[in-house]
Amino acid sequence: MRILSVMLSIMMTLGCSGTSKSDQWITLFNGEDLNDWVVKMNHYHAGENFGNTFRVEDGLLKVRYDQYEFTDEFAHIFYKTPFKNFHLTVDYRFSGEFEQQAPHYAELNSGVMFHSQSAESQNKEQNWPVSVEMQYLADLGDGKRTTGNMCSPGTNIEYQGKVFPGHCLKSSKKALPKDQWVTAELIVNGPKITQLINGEVVLEYTNPTIDGNDHTVKGQSPEYIQGGKALDSGYIGLQSEGQPIEFKNVKIKILD
């Protein structure tokens, strides 16, 4: 009996000192290359990083347009595997000058897409992925913007128990100045989504689904126009839409 008791005590100690999978942070961007990522740009096939738009410099994942004149080459760079329930953290910083040929709303505007279709499933002339976006904005100087918003290209979400009728839902956090590092966190736990900016909860909503009547996304396959289809998993992508931006510390924790 004494030997059994000692063995049980050792097992309990080992169990308490171990780290479960859900406690481990996984680094998605290694600061060295983009080998684990796939680019999809409007007018280009998956895997074509036209104009070296996404690049690694100084340990940062940078979005730049110095090799072409941006008009509507909206783009995203997707991590290679999909995720279901997770806690994602990303540091972002807007820098450089806005591309004047881009749409005006894209100034100091970017974001992270999640529950997204893969890069490979998007058609060449598809402008946006069907997904949900945690939108990042910087202040334009008038104090009117918020950051950590939700936008829904080709999708719907529920807010306060009802389907939200608009395309973007504002958060409670005022947008921060350009050239300032900001930590954005996204927690997807079943149907509930929580968004944080610099450790502060700024928005919560639930139940993302495909919106068969939304015309924001153009050029997608019929599979991604199935209105009402639940979105409970998908790919994560960082956005490019005409404003230079930098990302670092892109990490994820898998939730049970």
Q: 10 in a domain, yes or no?
A: no
Lay out the sheet containing 132-137: strands in order across. Answer: 37-41, 75-79, 235-240, 109-116, 132-137, 149-151, 168-169
Q: Tens digits of per-residue pLDDT, 78-123?
A: 999 999 999 999 999 999 999 999 999 999 999 999 999 999 999 9
Query: How many domains are contained in the chain?
Result: 1
Strand 146-147 relative to strand 182-189, pairing = unpaired
**pLDDT band, very low/low/confident/very high, at 142 (cuts 50, 70, 90):** very high
**pLDDT of 26:** 98
pLDDT > 70 fraction of the chain, expressed in percent and rounded: 91
Q: Which two tokens stand for residue 7?
A: 């063995």
Q: Tens digits of per-residue pLDDT, 242-252?
A: 999 999 999 99
Q: 9 in a domain, yes or no?
A: no
What average pLDDT does the segment 22-48 reach? Answer: 95
Q: Tens digits of per-residue pLDDT, 198-217?
A: 999 999 999 999 999 999 99
Instruction: Answer whether residue 21 shows pLDDT above 70.
Output: no
Q: What distance in Å separates the CA atoms of residue 144 and residue 179, rounded to the nearest whole number?
A: 18
**pLDDT of 256:** 86
**pLDDT band, very low/low/confident/very high, at 22 (cuts 50, 70, 90):** low
Q: 2 in a domain, yes or no?
A: no
- 71: domain range? 22-254
Q: What distance in Å separates the CA atoms of residue 219 and residue 231, rounded to the nearest whole number?
A: 19
Q: 8 in a domain, yes or no?
A: no
**pLDDT band, very low/low/confident/very high, at 12 (cuts 50, 70, 90):** very low
**pLDDT of 19:** 35
What average pLDDT does the segment 147-161 reach? Answer: 98
**pLDDT of 138:** 98
Q: 73 in a domain, yes or no?
A: yes
User: Which residue is associated with the tokens 């954005």?
Assistant: 184
Q: For position 38, which CATH number holds?
A: 2.60.120.560
Q: Average pLDDT over the chain, rounded to whole? A: 92
Q: Which two tokens stand for residue 229?
A: 């289809």
Q: What distance in Å separates the CA atoms of residue 6 and residue 34, rounded to the nearest whole number?
A: 49
Task: Find the helix or strand (DSSP H, E) in which 17 lies.
Answer: helix 2-17
Q: 56 in a domain, yes or no?
A: yes
Instruction: Answer whether residue 141 shows pLDDT above 60.
Output: yes
Q: 192 in a domain, yes or no?
A: yes
**pLDDT band, very low/low/confident/very high, at 23 (cuts 50, 70, 90):** confident
